[in-house]
Amino acid sequence: MKSNLKVKSVKKADKVTRKCIGCGEIRPKSELLRIVRNNEGEVSIDLTGRANGRGAYICRSHDCLKKAISSRALNRSFKCEIDNKLTEGLLNLDF
C-alpha cells in the first residue's frame, strides 16, 4: 500500500522573525535582543536566545528600549513589575 502523503521540506533560507515590543516592527530574530523571565521570576538578558522562560524581544537601539520602558511594555510582556535596577542596567548596555 503506497502513501500519497507529500513531505514539505523547510528551507534554511527562511528567517525566523519576532516583533519588537518597543516600536512594533517585525525583524529577524538575530537582529533583536531577547529579555527573558524564568520560572523563578528572575528577569535577565538572554544572549543565546535559548534560555528557558517567557521572552520579549527589543530592537538593539536605545530609542526602542526607552519606548518599551516608558510604555510599560516589559511589564505587560512578563505580567509582573520590572524593577528600576534592571531598566537602568538595560539602558547602560552598548548595542
Rounded distance, CA 20 to CA 73, Å?
Answer: 10
Look at the pTM and tell me if it is higher than 0.75: yes
**Cell 528577569 belongs to which residue?**
43
Question: Which residues are bridge partners to 47 per DSSP?
Answer: none
pLDDT for position 53? 96
Average pLDDT over residues 21-49: 94
Q: Give the side-chain half-sphere CA count within 13 A for 58.
A: 25
For 12-19, the CB contacts below 8 A with 24+ separation are 18/57, 19/57
Percentage of the chain beyond pLDDT 70 is 85
